[in-house]
Amino acid sequence: MTVPKGTAQTNAPEDPPKSDREWFLLGARAAISIPALILTAAFVGFAGLARETGLTLAETLLMTGFIWALPSIVVLTGALSSGMGLIPAAIAVALASVRLMPMTMALMPMVKIPGRTKNWHLLVASHFVAVTAWVFAMRNLPDLPREARLPFFTGFGASVTTFVFCMTGIAYLIVERMPDVVAGALVLLTPVYFLCSLWGAARLNVDKAAMVVGLALGPVFFLYLPGLDLLWTGLIGGTVAYLGMRVLRGGLS
């Protein structure tokens, strides 16, 4: 029986845990990591944006806790600040969040035990699926016993979410004392980290090829298809990378 690499490995006891509770606690301990701190810093920047937009503390915390994915939160904040209607704002958030669907579909079979795992367990775990937790899971969960994956991931996700939730509230109260440049830099810290993490977690050449194509197409779609740029970048970038790798391998006639 093995323990996950990286952060989780440094926190693992000599004897692997036996119960779900012990795996949950081990996942919570693994949340004490640089990725979690970077994500927290980005949400501190969002707290400043929320306050400047006119959102109340309660609204800011509700968005943090229930939406969770930072890009979607920023999209909703921008929609509210521009006076966009409820339906267009909901569509914009849905388009910003559609990237999470394939990530969830890839992760849930990894943590599910057929005949044992309940659907509500998977629903709870799926709430924590965002880039930080997903990259961590894809790098570490394959090295764990199947019965340990769900409690370990839930412990990690719940701890990160709770900590970020609390720090966002604190930041909202004190962010007015923070220079604008610092608050903006904290928001930009997250996409830089996401890019580096996804590249490091890519196990196949096609994944890296998709990222390269996406980086090239992203600015183009941002200029000509604003609002749908992420959707089209992911769709076309991934398709081009996949077909290109098939051609190189001689898989297409």
- Residues in CB range of 76: below 8 A, 6 or more apart: 63, 67, 89, 92, 93
Q: Are 158 and 128 in contact (CB under 8 A)?
A: yes
Instruction: Classify residue 169 by burial, with Cβ atoms within 10 Å: 0-12, 13-18, 19+.
Output: middle
Instruction: Tell me which of 193, 210, 236 is where a domain ends.
Output: 193
End residue of a domain, out of 151, 175, 193: 193
Indicate whether 10 pLDDT > 80: no
pLDDT at 89 over 90: no
Domain count of the fold of the chain: 2
What is the domain extent for residue 34? 7-193
Decide if pLDDT at 49 tops 60: yes
Residue 91 lies in a domain: yes
The answer to whether position 99 is within a domain reads yes
The mean of the pLDDT values for the chain is: 80
* 100 lies in some domain: yes
- The answer to whether position 2 is within a domain reads no
Same domain, 189 and 88: yes
Q: Is residue 167, in this structure, part of any structural domain at all? A: yes
Whether 153 and 215 have beta carbons less than 8 Å apart is answered as no
Residues 142 and 41 in one domain: yes
Comparison of pLDDT for 66 and 210, the residue scoring more: 66
* 111-141 pLDDT per residue, tens: 998 888 899 999 999 999 988 888 889 889 9
221 plus 252 within the same structural domain: yes
CA angle (122, 47, 165) in 5-degree steps: 35
- Report the distance separating Cα 251 and Cα 94, nearest Å: 35
Cα separation of 195 and 241, whole Å? Answer: 17
Q: How far apart (Å, rounded) are the C-alpha atoms in residues 100 and 109?
A: 15
Question: Looking at 34-48, 83-97, 191-205, which range is the least confident one?
Answer: 191-205
Same domain, 25 and 147: yes
Residues 15 and 58 in one domain: yes
Query: Letter for the amino acid at 120?
Result: W
Residue 145: name the closest of 118, 122, 111, 116 by CA: 111
Q: Which segments of 205-250 does DSSP mark as H helices, in order?
A: 205-224, 229-248
- 46 and 132 fall within a common domain: yes
| Type and span of the H or E element at 190 | helix 180-201
Identify whether residues 97 and 189 lie together within a single domain: yes
Q: What is the total residue count of the chain?
A: 253
Q: pLDDT tens digits for 193-247? A: 667 766 766 667 777 888 888 888 888 888 887 766 767 887 888 888 888 877 7
Distance CA 153, CA 138 (A): 10
What band does 249 get if pLDDT is binned at 50, 70 and 90? confident
Q: How far is CA 68 from CA 15, 55, 72, 131, in A?
A: 34, 16, 8, 11
- Both tokens of residue 106? 């890839």
Q: Which of 193, 215, 245 is the last residue of a domain?
A: 193
- Is the same domain home to 177 and 227? no
Residue type at 90 in one-letter notation: A
Best-predicted range by mean pLDDT (46-60, 159-173, 188-202) = 159-173
pLDDT band for position 149 (cuts 50, 70, 90): very high
